[in-house]
Amino acid sequence: MRFLNRDVIVIGGGIAGLSSAYALLRLGASVTLLERNSCGGEASWAGGGILSPLLPWDYSDPVTQLTRLSTRLFPEFIEALKRETGVDPEYNSSGMLVVPHFSGDSQDAEAAAAEAWCTPRAFPMRRVRSHEIAPALARDEAALWLPEVCQVRNPRLLQALRKAVGLLGGTIVEHAEVTSLKIERTRVLSISTRRGDEYTAVDYVVTAGAWSSQLLRDHALKLDIWPVRGQILLFKAQPDLLRTIVLQGQENFYLIPRQDGYILAGSTLEEVEYDKRPTSSARKVLLAKARALVPVLNEGILAGHWAGLRPGSPDNIPVIDRHPMITNLYINSGHYRYGVTMAPGSAHLLSNIILNSPQPLDITPYRWPV
């Protein structure tokens, strides 16, 4: 293994920034992470923590490759974090039940497409009746069962990562919004924050989520990352009401049960610039969808409602690369709907790029667009 004896500044303390900092610290780098507010307070906190694309067979190869790499890395990633920090991110293979939206021929076509994708990849999938897996559902119908899909309690994963970064000697500076990068010819010389502090390092990594393009201004080149609001409802139910993630595929609607009985119901996909206020119309729609799937999920046990801004990207393909002209500037951003799923894989690719180490997969699709 190669080691990195140099200073790195990471800009943005969501899952992408914290997992990048963690990977770089483990390789011997000195890392300073600058976060505008508090770490893990934006999309990474607001998300659901499903560790898979929703209908994996609907995505392109670059999404599949990166999520499969992350799936392989996740067990050891979580074990190390638990050992180092004592925080349990509740990583578990709760499985995902895909309930149909269509009837008759379309349903068979969806199942056939799923089988054609799953079988050659040895991705476990079985046709079942929905009540075999989730008796609390309103309807017993033909469904698809993906038993090895995992989930993680993302706020706890962030807590573990933040603690691990500190324990490994990383410096986290919160309430430090980076406002400008001082660039001379092909190198970043320093960065400045809103409160006037200046920081210098050998390498700089942008992990500012939905704000990444905005931060880089002209240096973003053709980077195409934009905010996509997602809203989630939280129910407090009996711990054994639901044991598996339930996805109503074409509706883009899912229920995620946590071990203590909380159930997340989401989400929405809304392009409303940087407005992350939850809305009463989304609340109504999500509540109706939740009740239609599992009737006991009603307003009486509603415990929360929030929204976050995903870093949207074309075809959900993140950019993980060195800047084409600025040799010490890197990015790991644009993970759109799957930033938690892709976190350890993306951090691994980024570290290899910085170290000039061989990659486990073709990284061409994640190049910085020019």
Ligand X SMILES: Cc1cc2nc3c(=O)[nH]c(=O)nc-3n(C[C@H](O)[C@H](O)[C@H](O)COP(=O)(O)OP(=O)(O)OC[C@H]3O[C@@H](n4cnc5c(N)ncnc54)[C@H](O)[C@@H]3O)c2cc1C
Question: Does the footprint of ligand X cover residue 89 (CB under 6 A)?
Answer: no
Q: What's the token pair of residue 231?
A: 């809203």
The closest alpha carbon to 187, from 156, 155, 212, 219, belongs to 219
Binds ligand X by CB under 6 A, chosen from 337, 352, 353, 366: 337
How many Å apart are CA 362 and CA 370, to the nearest integer? Answer: 19
Parallel, antiparallel or unpaired: strands 96-99 and 142-146: antiparallel
How far CA 128 is from CA of 147, 181, 289, in Å, comes to 11, 54, 22
DSSP, collapsed to helix, strand or coil, labels residue 354 as: helix
Q: Indicate the residue among 269 and 292 with the shorter CB distance to ligand X.
A: 269
CB nearer to ligand X: pick between 175 and 222? 175
Applying CB under 6 A, the span of 122-130, 182-190, 307-315, 353-361 interacting with ligand X comes to 307-315
Task: Give the C-alpha separation, 98 to 314, whole Å.
Answer: 25
> Per rule CB under 6 A, is residue 50 in the interface with ligand X?
yes
Does 207 participate in binding ligand X (rule CB under 6 A)? yes
Mask of contacts with ligand X, 247-286, x by CB under 6 A? Answer: -------------------xx-------------------
Cα separation, 216 vs 331, whole angstroms: 10
246/244 Cα distance (integer angstroms): 6
Residue 34 makes contact with ligand X by CB under 6 A: yes
Q: Which is nearer to ligand X, 210 or 237 (CB)?
A: 210
110 forms part of the interface with ligand X (CB under 6 A):
no
Which of residues 4, 9, 31, 43 is near ligand X by CB under 6 A?
Answer: 43
Q: Write down the least CB distance from residue 80 to ligand X, Å.
A: 19
- Chain residues 114-143 in contact with ligand X, contact rule CB under 6 A: none
The residue count for binding ligand X (CB under 6 A) is 43
Residue 36 binding ligand X, by CB under 6 A: yes
89 CB-near residues (< 8 Å, 6+ apart): 78, 81, 82, 152, 153, 154, 156, 157, 159, 160
DSSP assignment of 172-235 equals EE-S--EEEEEEETTEEEEEEETTS-EE--SEEEE--GGGHHHHHGGGGTT---EEEEEEEEEE
Q: Which is nearer to ligand X, 194 or 222 (CB)?
A: 194
- Told to check if 311 binds ligand X by CB under 6 A, we report yes
Sign, Cα dihedral of 39, 46, 25, 320: negative
CB closer to ligand X out of 100 and 311: 311
Least separation in angstroms between CB 283 and ligand X: 13
Q: Helical H runs in the chain? A: 15-26, 43-46, 61-85, 105-118, 130-133, 154-167, 212-216, 280-293, 343-355
Stretch that binds ligand X, among 36-44, 86-94, 98-106, 350-358 (CB under 6 A): 36-44
Contacting range for ligand X; rule: CB under 6 A; set: 24-32, 41-49, 89-97, 126-134? 41-49
List residues binding ligand X (CB under 6 A).
11-17, 34-37, 41-44, 46-50, 177-178, 207-211, 215, 230, 232, 266-267, 308, 310-311, 333, 335-341
